[in-house]
Amino acid sequence: MNANIKYIGCDDAEMDLFESQYVTPEGMCYNSYLILDEKIAVMDSVDPRKTGEWLQNLSAALDGRTPDYLIVQHMEPDHSGSLKAFRETYPNATIVASEKALTFMAQFNEGTDFGPTMAVKEGDTLSLGVRTLQFIAAPMIHWPEVIVTYCPEEKTLFSADAFGKFGVKDADPDDWACEARRYYFNICGKYGMPVTTLLKKASALDIQTICPLHGPILKGEQLAEALRLYTIWGSYGVETEGVLVAHASIHGNTKKAAEKLAEILQAKGAKKVVLADLCRDDMAEVIEDAFRMNKLVVCASSYDADVFPPMHMFLWKLKMKAYQNRTVGILENGSWAPSAGKAMRAILEQLKNVNIVEPTVTIRSSMKQADLPAMEALADAILK
Ligand code: FEO
């Protein structure tokens, strides 16, 4: 970074399932920073998996000095998991956090006295000497207690989880968006409105560097691109014109119909068609693609007078993440009493501004020549 702001975070290459739910083939990192001034501030701690390494990084960067403040921007344990160890090592440093974060601190650490502490809120500042920290409330990015911190003298925003990504810090240096998008829609996707509010606050600041709690430090073109994408993502806008065809197939016949539908869509001039197998693909990746594109076709087998569970999970997650402003088509399969279409529609109808096109295609056991006209009609309706 520079002589006065040092990176003291930790890579966790062995982390394979972040939050016990997201596969992380390139590991994860927990970022933390040290601001050296007349007073010294530490920006967040790290996951308890890396407490020892973090304390070593901190001690080395301090070079014999002692921290005056620990700024806690977010209380989720991947960042607050080393607070107790910090307090034991540096008993006199003041822990600075929102009122709510101080409440969470006590909830997570029964019996630990974290004093001295200082509660801060939107608009409060803390002078370190030459540098100032300005605190900005960022509720629901991604918990309610979150603050982000702007240092005007360094033109730097410490952005908490915002602008984070999966992977160790310098994984995919030329492709921030891929794992940042999967991270965003699965972790912050529900909170588009708070993200848009934060972007509005950020637009009033001169920001040349973003220091998130996960992923690389953003500057220059990469920073501009990250802001551009966050503006689309936060407003549930369309990043890529295209159709996601997501299927959940028990014995492969629904999958064959989905593949045929993708072929028809391509033949009719769809700009981009992506097929996703909800039984085998990473669900978080499919969720990301659903938000990335403007159109979706869901194809599923009927099951227990409902819909095959992998599709139910997918639609339930879309609902949970506030999927909206999209065009959706339905293809169901059923051998005796098709029920998947009705079950999928029941969830889709609960979503904001989702246009369900007709016809719903029903295939019986396997796709036949006679099904093609309805599939063509569905493709036409989706592409209209
Ligand atoms: Fe990286 Fe919401 O914790």
Per-residue pLDDT of the chain (384 residues; tens, 9 = 90+): 788 999 999 999 999 999 999 999 999 999 999 999 999 999 999 999 999 999 999 999 999 999 999 999 999 999 999 999 999 999 999 999 999 999 999 999 999 999 899 999 999 999 999 999 999 999 999 899 999 999 999 999 999 999 999 999 999 888 999 999 999 999 999 999 999 999 999 999 999 999 999 999 999 999 999 999 999 999 999 999 999 999 999 999 999 999 999 999 999 999 999 999 999 999 999 999 999 999 999 999 999 999 999 999 999 999 999 999 999 999 999 999 999 999 999 999 999 999 999 999 999 999 999 999 999 999 999 999
211/267 same-domain check:
no
145 CB near ligand 1 (under 6 Å): no
Distances (CA, A) of 77 to 9, 49, 80, 187, 324: 14, 10, 5, 15, 30
Same domain, 14 and 109: yes
**Residue 272 shares a structural domain with residue 226:** no
Place of tokens 């912050």: 188
> Which ligand 1 atom minimizes the distance to the CA of 30?
1
Number of helices (H) and strands (E) in the chain: give both, helices first: 12, 23
Do 204 and 336 have their domain in common? no
0.85 cut: is pTM over it?
Answer: yes
Same domain, 249 and 223: no
Do 207 and 335 sit in the same domain of this protein? no
> Do 52 and 12 share a domain, yes or no?
yes
Indicate if ligand 1 lies below 6 Å from the C-beta of 37: no
Please indicate, yes or no, whether residues 228 and 273 belong to a single structural domain of this protein: no
Closest C-alpha to ligand 1, atom 1: 161
The answer to whether residues 153 and 258 belong to one domain is: no
- Among the three residues 200, 234, 268, which one is the final residue of a domain in this structure? 234
Answer with the one of 182, 215, 234 that is the final residue of a domain: 234
Q: What residues does 273 pair with on adjacent strands?
A: 243
Whether residue 219 is found in the same domain as residue 129: yes
Q: Do 32 and 153 fall within a single domain?
A: yes
The domain total for the chain is 2
Domain of 184, CATH number, reads 3.60.15.10
Determine the Cα–Cα distance for residues 382 and 364; give it in Å rounded to an integer. Answer: 22
| Full domain range(s) for residue 298 | 242-383
Ligand 1 neighbour 142 (Cβ under 6 A):
yes
Q: What is the Å distance from ligand 1's center to 196 Cα?
A: 18
| Gyration radius from the chain CA atoms | 24
Q: Whose CA is nearest to atom 3 of ligand 1?
A: 76
Among residues 166, 201, 234, which one ends one of the domains?
A: 234
Dist CA 33 CA 51 (whole Å)? 14
Query: Residue type at 33?
Result: Y
CATH number of domain containing 314? 3.40.50.360
Cis status of the peptide bond prior to 310, with omega within 30 of 0? no
Same domain, yes or no, for 109 and 248? no
**Backbone CA torsion sign across 319, 323, 326, 328:** negative
